[in-house]
A and B are shown apart, each in its own frame.
Chain A
Amino acid sequence: MKKVVRLYFIFMILFSCGKENIEQSTLLNIYAPNAFHPGSKVPCANGDPSCNNMYKILVDKPGNLKSIAIQILDEKQNLVFKTENYNEGWNGNIMGNAGGTPCMQGQYYLVINYTDVANGSYQIKKDIYLLR
């Protein structure tokens, strides 16, 4: 029994060494929320009526951004949204099609690959939540 318990803890320690990409560009900031609600009616501070009803990111100093690719994947790694425009948001439908098939409430994965004007390439990965 002791051997089994020991094996269990070895197993847990072995797989607790996860990877996390934390290095980001110093020339710009990308702020990525982790939730949105397609039925939301909350406007942004600047009066933009579509604030929390789409999944969007905020880029600080966008002049220092050379290129960006945003992808959102579902739990089975199927691509549900992609764009190369940081101003474009995801409405919660498959591939963002208006009137398209709505995705289910739950956890999704955000992957952002971007390059700054100094040709540094960076990546952001995080979980996001679609709420219905």
Chain B
Amino acid sequence: MKYWIAFLLGINFCFAQTDSLNINAPWYRTNLQFQQNPAFTGDNGKFVVSNSTKFNLYETNFNDALSTNTSSFQTCFKNYGIGINYAYSNYSGVLSNQTLGLNQSYKIHIKKGHFLLFGFSVSINMAQLDFSKLTFFDQFVSSQGKIYQTQEPNPNPTVYYCNFKAGGIYKNQFGFISLNIQNLFEPIVAFYDQVGINKSSSLIRNYELLAGLKLYKINDVQFYANLKADINNISPYEFIGVQASYKSKFIGGIHYTSNNGLNMMLSYYHPKFRVFASYTKEYIFKNTELSNEGILSVGLTYQIKK
């Protein structure tokens, strides 16, 4: 019963913390990996109920931040992993997305310490729009500001769609490399274009490449190299950088991003209370000077070990 309460309230229970990614890419621990790449399903051990809460702040106030809350359950039987996840994203109360996904994976043991994992995910999604919070250009008049009601017709406030993901991972004791394909069949998500005749109404297919490599260790400080790339023709993004972990409690990292920015990450893990808090700030370079116009992201994960 308490696990269901935790699932609903957004608390993270974790019976096993054996994920090799926690060793090879500690920055990735802030996310629930299998929701990005279904090949990770069950790879964290048996019977894991978890939650992650994350806010993206763009120098606006806290209430306008994009917030994402995900709850999930996953487990494994021999080489098979299965999981369900529920995610809720809220864009300033105007747009929201809810996702209920079913994930499965299969692990192949190549040789000692070397693994290949494959996974597939199907999800039912609901996107909602609060039309009353939108203002359009036709509502404004010079010197008077917003005085009119918009003539824009009300769109369909709720859109349902199915989405699919597939992925694969190779990992060993030194690192991992993973590739997953999101929006496999490019579902149509449009509030106006319900017939889907417009290609721009689709979610574009995205290839996400992730890699982590364990570097050297000096006293209690372990260094890592990380790479992430989103490959698509609309919004590509890459970052590459290094991280250092002190006694697996304090993690700091710095990454160069393809949008000419610098991503800095700090996180803290409290082993007794299983609280994992992360802080990420992205600075964008402007004319060789660092600008403060990047995203600030904060996340919180809470874990209870049996």
Please indicate the chain A residues that have their CB under 8 angstroms from the CB of B145 in the complex: 29, 31, 60
Stretch at the interface among B26-34, B118-126, B173-181, B190-198: B190-198
Question: Binary interface profile of B, 175-207, with partner A (CB < 8 Å = 1, else 0)?
Answer: 000000000000001111100001111111000
Q: Is A87 an interface residue (CB 8 A)?
A: no
CA distance A114 to B267 in the complex (A): 37
CA distance A31 to B62 in the complex (A): 23
A102 touches B91 (CB 8 A): no
CA distance A125 to B35 in the complex (A): 31
B230 touches A11 (CB 8 A): no
Instruction: Choose from A52, A59, A101 the contact partner of B152 (Cβ within 8 Å).
Output: A52
Distance (Å) between the CB of B53 and the closest chain A CB?
9
Q: Is B116 an interface residue (CB 8 A)?
A: no
B135 touches A33 (CB 8 A): yes
B134 touches A34 (CB 8 A): yes
A127 touches B91 (CB 8 A): yes
Q: Is B302 an interface residue (CB 8 A)?
A: yes
B62 touches A77 (CB 8 A): no
Q: Is B65 an interface residue (CB 8 A)?
A: yes
Stretch at the interface among B17-25, B98-106, B136-144, B210-218: B136-144
Task: List B249-306 residues whose CB lies under 8 Å from chain A.
Answer: 257, 259, 261, 270, 273, 275, 277, 282, 284, 293-295, 298, 300, 302
Stretch at the interface among B41-49, B79-87, B107-115, B233-241: B233-241
Q: Is A94 an interface residue (CB 8 A)?
A: yes
Please indicate the chain A residues that have their CB under 8 angstroms from the CB of B302 in the complex: 4, 8
B193 touches A107 (CB 8 A): no
Summarize A's interface: helix, strand, loop or mixed: loop
A3 touches B273 (CB 8 A): yes
Question: Binary interface profile of B, 35-70, with partner A (CB < 8 Å = 1, else 0)?
Answer: 000000000000000000001011111101110000
Please indicate the chain B residues that have their CB under 8 angstroms from the CB of A39 in the complex: 192-193, 198
Please indicate the chain B residues that have their CB under 8 angstroms from the CB of A44 in the complex: 137-138
B55 touches A77 (CB 8 A): no
Residue of A nearest to B142 (CB): A60
Instruction: Choose from B65, B204, B230, B277 the contact partner of A76 (Cβ within 8 Å).
Output: B230
Distance (Å) between the CB of B243 and the closest chain A CB?
20
Instruction: Choose from A8, A45, A54, A79 the contact partner of B141 (Cβ within 8 Å).
Output: A45
Q: Is B4 an interface residue (CB 8 A)?
A: no
Q: Which 5 A-B pairs have the closest CB atoms?
A: A102-B200, A35-B134, A18-B61, A132-B190, A18-B62
| Known pairs A18-B59, A43-B138 / 14 extra A-B pairs, C-beta < 8 Å | A7-B270, A7-B273, A16-B62, A19-B60, A34-B135, A77-B284, A78-B236, A101-B234, A102-B199, A103-B200, A107-B92, A129-B91, A129-B94, A132-B192
Residues of A within 8 A of B (CB): 3-4, 7-8, 11, 15-21, 29, 31, 33-40, 42-45, 51-52, 54-56, 58-61, 74-79, 92, 94, 101-107, 109, 111, 125-127, 129, 131-132
